[in-house]
Amino acid sequence: DMKVTQMPRYLIKRMGENVLLECGQDMSHETMYWYRQDPGLGLQLIYISYDVDSNSEGDIPKGYRVSRKKREHFSLILDSAKTNQTSVYFCASSLGAEQFFGPGTRLTVL
């Protein structure tokens, strides 16, 4: 069963704390993505990873960094989280142009 998983599903942090969001996929897809979704907007791309240690900025990379040390795992890191990073974060992996999405992580930064 092809699947993208995300941990944790819900997270509350205080401003200035570090945040680690984790994503896994069991399809051996080379390309993975991190998005954020805010009310009334579509998904905005934060980072793309084309394979292990091959990452590129998306549209809104400021305040975020990523790590991909294994093909099946892709992490999103917020160093010193800000209140405007409160959002729902989605991870995806792709086979060709089609993307497969995880269930999302709802992050609240107080």
CA distances from 63 to 3, 6, 19, 51, 75 (A): 28, 20, 11, 22, 14
Per CB under 8 A, 107 contacts another protein: no
Residue 68 CB partners (closer than 8 Å, separation 6+): 32, 49, 51, 52, 53, 54, 55, 74, 75
Per CB under 8 A, 90 contacts another protein: yes
Q: From the CB of 92, what's the least distance to another protein, in Å?
A: 8
Per CB under 8 A, 67 contacts another protein: no
Per CB under 8 A, 46 contacts another protein: no
Per CB under 8 A, 104 contacts another protein: yes
Which stretches of the chain bind another protein, using CB under 8 A? 4, 31, 40-43, 45, 48, 50, 58-59, 90, 94, 96-104
